[in-house]
Chain A
Amino acid sequence: AQTVTQSQPEMSVQEAETVTLSCTYDTSESDYYLFWYKQPPSRQMILVIRQEAYKQQNATENRFSVNFQKAAKSFSLKISDSQLGDAAMYFCAYRGAASKLTFGTGTRLQVTL
């Protein structure tokens, strides 16, 4: 079974600074997808970014980018120019051949002035 580990329960960043959230996973599959979801206080789950395991190029979506290290099974999220609206829980998730989505335990990001 696949597992996803987020070792940072809480992180803090100052507005306009850059922060990196960590995620590692364990799998025996060679083809899979990785996702980062954002959950603001409204509770809604919002897809932030996705990465296909076969693509070497790291995904980027505006201020959000990932550092995908397939051999190390690492998938970190970098948020540049942090904004107050980025404050939320962030979940790393894995989707493989079974197409079930497996989540990590989440990282709560605080953004300070």
Chain B
Amino acid sequence: NAGVTQTPKFQVLKTGQSMTLQCAQDMNHEYMSWYRQDPGMGLRLIHYSVGAGITDQGEVPNGYNVSRSTTEDFPLRLLSAAPSQTSVYFCASSYSLPGNGYTFGSGTRLTVV
């Protein structure tokens, strides 16, 4: 079982560049989320989706776009990278029942210079 697969694991971008972080899950989970992790701030929710075609903003959505055309995939787009977006990004997925914990990908360390 692959679980939640995130690519790439590491990325360096120049300010102003755009890129897409990929996330795929093979567990038929309805819910998918993107978090960013910064020192001393825990994990903060960027965007989430409760099913294909449905997305919503989390706590820190500015500068990021998402779409969910299939149950399996939930890519995160950085439109114009800024140094403030230097962070570790996690994708996570879960069944809809709230008693289920989320399963996390292995993370992407992004550096914007």
Contact = CB atoms under 8 A, between A and B. Distances in A.
A96 B42 contact: no
Interface string A96-107: 110111111110
B112 interface: no
B88 interface: yes
Contacts of B58: 100
A91 B96 contact: no
B40 A9 contact: yes
A44 B99 CA distance: 21
Contacts of A91: 42-43
A37 B40 CA distance: 16
A95 B43 CA distance: 14
Interface residues of B, number: 25
Interface string B78-106: 00000000001010101010110111101
Interface string A75-108: 0000000000000000100011101111111100
A106 to B, nearest CB: 5
B95 to A, nearest CB: 9
A43 B88 contact: yes
Contacts of A43: 88, 106-107
Nearest to A32: B98
Nearest to B94: A99
A58 B13 CA distance: 46
Given A9-B40, A44-B104, A102 B45 contact: yes
Contact of B101 (A4, A32, A47): A47
A95 B98 CA distance: 6
Report, nearest first, the 3 A-B pairs whose CB atoms are least far apart: A45-B104, A105-B42, A47-B101
14 contacts: A9-B40, A32-B98, A35-B101, A44-B107, A45-B104, A47-B103, A95-B98, A99-B50, A99-B94, A99-B96, A100-B33, A100-B48, A101-B45, A105-B40
